[in-house]
Amino acid sequence: GTLWIAVHAKLLDLVRHFGDAGHVSPTTILRHSAGVTQTVLVDDGAYSALTTRGVSLLHAGVVEVRGDFEAGETVEVATRNGDVFARGLVGVNAMQARAGAGKKSAELPDGVNHEVVHRDDLIVL
């Protein structure tokens, strides 16, 4: 058999429902991530790009980071006004996201992921 270790209890419910972890997509996991308290607020340009072009969220589009998180955790993505429009798995921790907010990729320190949330790990709600 296969041993699965789930970070979120909801993941186990999804695996039980689908009967096979291979049928549980990242999109399904993100849609069912309840109780997310971490939020990344973005500017209007990032909102437009994320919702219409399916791009990754870069540091340049981030205006505020609420809550603490580690890379790989689920966050909500919201407009400046706090209206949540997406969820995603972050590629950086909260400290890196705060330090990089509003900066172009070339301005980031070496070793910091240029994508706050990769487009493959983002779902627009």
Shared domain check, 55 and 2: no
Shared domain check, 71 and 93: yes
Tell me the C-alpha to C-alpha distance, in Å, between residue 114 and each of 76, 97, 111, 119: 18, 10, 9, 12
Shared domain check, 82 and 60: yes
Give the CATH number, domain containing residue 91. 2.30.130.10
pLDDT at position 6 is 47
The rounded mean pLDDT for the chain is 83
Shared domain check, 96 and 40: yes
Shared domain check, 90 and 44: yes
- Is the predicted pLDDT of residue 85 greater than 80, yes or no? yes
pTM of the model as a whole: 0.76
- Is the predicted pLDDT of residue 27 greater than 80, yes or no? no
Asked if residues 41 and 66 have their Cβ atoms less than 8 Å apart, the reply is: yes
- Is the predicted pLDDT of residue 1 greater than 70, yes or no? no
The answer as to whether 30 is a domain residue is: no
Shared domain check, 90 and 111: yes
pLDDT at position 30 is 58
The answer as to whether 106 is a domain residue is: yes
Structural domain total, the chain:
2
Shared domain check, 54 and 6: no
| Higher pLDDT pick, 61 / 87 | 61
- Is the predicted pLDDT of residue 102 greater than 60, yes or no? yes
Our CA angle for 16, 22, 23, nearest 5°, is 65
pLDDT at position 123 is 87
Whole-number Å distance between alpha carbons of 86 and 91: 15
Domain extent for 102 = 35-124
Shared domain check, 11 and 64: no
Shared domain check, 98 and 42: yes
